[in-house]
Amino acid sequence: MFKIQKAIVLLLKQGPTKFVRTIVSKKKEKKKIIEFKNKARNIHLISEEERERQRKWEFQNCRKFSIITPLYNTPVEYLIELLESVERQTYTNWELCLADGSDDKHEYVEKVCKDWMNRDNRIIYMKLKKNLGISNNTNECLKLASGDFFGLLDHDDVLHESALFEMMCVIEKTEADFIYSDEVKFSKEISDATDFNFKSAFGKDELRSHNYICHFTVFSKELLENANELYRSNFDGSQDHDMVLRLTERAKNIVHIPKVLYYWRVHPDSVSMNLDSKSYAVDAAIRAIKEQLIRENEHGSVSSNLPYRTIYRISYDILQHPKVIILVHNNSNLQIDEIKPRIDNNTSYDNYEIIFVEIKENETLGIALNRDISHNKADFYVLFDGACIPENDDWIEEMLMYAQRNDVCTVSPKILFGNNLIGYAGLALDANEKGFIKFLGKGFSDDEQGYEAMFRYVRNITASWKGCCMISAEKLRMMGGFSEDMDGYEEVDFSLRGIQNKLWNVWTCFAKINYDSMEIPSFEEKKSKIFYNRWQDEIKKGDRYYHPILKELRWL
């Protein structure tokens, strides 16, 4: 039923021609996804040699993990698989905290748990007088916990045998207080699992768009205590999303482990398989995001980005009607008369001015931009390639709502080229790419949703592209403008310096620009030496928002 509803919404929104094109693109994308999953099938397995290495490893400070698992009418086979997966952990300093809210028809849950508890004193079990709901049942588990770190394990899921070992490695190396890993969904046998979720590094905006962090999540006891509240029952269905939003606001060091450490069981009763009857989960997520906006003194509305019910869109209020200057570069005098009306006729925002950037002999773009910015005062500046044409009239508003935030460095839109192809959905650092820069999404059809629907929500990226990006005057002043020796890499260097200053670079799919060419210009290798010399450590580490497995399997 839900698929039919999605199709009807799409047909009404797109019209017959684009709807048919979308269906064709989705079939091609589905084939691509199947090929990708087959390549990734064994990526979560470890060898016996690695297993023994982990078991023998000696940490300097062995932190204790409390695994938190509320139980409710858990099928016996699921329960035993869960218990076995915890027992198999190669890192052994753990306790499993079980709070059981099962009804009288499921007394076997208590029997199984007590049998296991009698065999292993690391298993702590409490039978609740009644089912208190998922959040309060979880809180009862937390009351049993005595560990330094807490890890969340749902009652029908399974832990990878290396999960706690990998978490401990990160804690010892980085002193992280919030850690999460990749995961894979399975229905029957883990050996047949192919629905992998390879995640990116922490991104504030992506977490607001959807709870991509999910499983396996571990956080310090101290961090939870500082959150003031435990799990909140008025967010049942999206209680994890609410908790992750609150914890990451306060976390000092958030680390993503790019390894599959969690097996998420999908079955008819799970929320992921049954959204139609559990729409309360969507409503709860929207309220959780709204509450974060209130806590951070931000103003806006939150809604599902239909037809994707669990992807959320925030429309922030734009404050004080600021002035925007559009700095048009990469243009000739012959084009100027054409460029201005192309912008004016496709822009609804009314407080803007267009400046054509003149690069003098022996100047870099950075020098020219800094000069024009110093001579032309505005609240926000848009770098705008002369070949760009706005597709949606509210493109300035869609970027401005993010650029106005104190914690944002740059904002960029989705850029299309050629025959309805994506040319730009964010820049990533890549040592193997020409000029060390990869254009994410390049070559995908605009009708494709991308890996985990990444082309359908606002997310954080490492760098914006000067084809079109917005920066506030405040950030330009704070960071001393553009580096004038970064010829060809001005915007990438600025974005990276923003990250060093704990600022976010944001990509939004809700602002769309057409690039009037059959090709998107690439970064020139001959200009890359200075950039590489300055940023080689970051390049060698790999891009935080471009997963190494997605890179290896050439998905993006």
Mean pLDDT, residues 320-328:
97
Domain termination residue (choose one: 264, 299, 334):
299
Rg (the chain; Cα; Å): 25
Kindly state the percentage of the chain with pLDDT values over 90: 80
Output the pLDDT for position 521: 86
Do 103 and 137 fall into the same domain?
A: yes
Q: Which of 242, 293, 312 is nearest to 453 (CA)?
A: 312
Do 282 and 360 fall into the same domain?
A: no
Do 130 and 164 fall into the same domain?
A: yes
Helix (H, G, I), strand (E, B) or coil at 511: strand
Output the pLDDT for position 168: 98
Range of the domain at 25: 2-40
Which residue type does 318 have?
Answer: I
Do 31 and 173 fall into the same domain?
A: no
For residue 276, is pLDDT > 60? Answer: no
Q: In degrees rounded to 5, what are phi and psi of residue 18?
A: -70, -30
Q: Is 46 contained in some domain?
A: no
Cβ burial of 264 (10 Å; 0-12, 13-18, 19+) is buried
Do 438 and 466 fall into the same domain?
A: yes
Is 490 or 21 the better-scoring residue by pLDDT? 490
Q: Is 54 contained in some domain?
A: no
Output the pLDDT for position 334: 57
Do 329 and 224 fall into the same domain?
A: no
Is 134 or 28 the better-scoring residue by pLDDT? 134
Helix (H, G, I), strand (E, B) or coil at 256: strand
Mean pLDDT, residues 195-205:
95
Transcribe 71-106 into DSSP letters.
ESS--HHHHHHHHHHHHT-SS--EEEEEEE---GGG
- The number of residues making up the chain comes to 556
Do 92 and 212 fall into the same domain?
A: yes
Q: Is 312 contained in some domain?
A: no
CA 182 to the chain's CA centroid:
12
For residue 277, is pLDDT > 60? Answer: no
Q: Is 494 contained in some domain?
A: yes
CB atoms within 10 A of CB 132: 17
292 has which bridge partners?
A: none
Which residue type does 62 have?
Answer: C
Q: Is 476 contained in some domain?
A: yes
Kindly state the percentage of the chain with pLDDT values over 70: 90
Q: Is 304 contained in some domain?
A: no
Q: Is 541 contained in some domain?
A: yes
Average of per-residue pLDDT values in the chain: 92
Q: Is 305 contained in some domain?
A: no
Do 27 and 156 fall into the same domain?
A: no
For residue 112, is pLDDT > 60? Answer: yes
Domain termination residue (choose one: 282, 299, 316):
299
Output the pLDDT for position 519: 87
Output the pLDDT for position 328: 96
Do 516 and 413 fall into the same domain?
A: yes
Question: Count of domains in the chain?
Answer: 3
Do 418 and 538 fall into the same domain?
A: yes
Output the pLDDT for position 543: 95
Question: pLDDT grade, residue 517 (50/70/90)?
Answer: confident
Output the pLDDT for position 16: 74
CA distances (Å), origin 370, targets 105, 479, 534: 72, 12, 20
Domain termination residue (choose one: 284, 299, 314):
299
Range from 178-192, 319-333, 383-397, 520-534 that averages highest in pLDDT: 383-397
Output the pLDDT for position 2: 46
Output the pLDDT for position 336: 81
Mean pLDDT, residues 225-234:
93
For 121-156, give the secondary structure using H, E and C. Answer: CCEEEEECCCCCCHHHHHHHHHHHCCCCEEEECCCC
CATH code of the domain in which 362 resides: 3.90.550.10
Do 28 and 65 fall into the same domain?
A: no
**Residues 514, 416 contacting (CB under 8 angstroms):** yes
Do 294 and 440 fall into the same domain?
A: no
For 4-53, how does the pLDDT look when each residue is reduced to its tens digit (9 = 90+)? 665 666 567 667 766 666 665 556 556 656 666 666 667 788 899 999 99
Please tell me the pTM assigned to this model.
Answer: 0.90
For residue 268, is pLDDT > 80? Answer: no
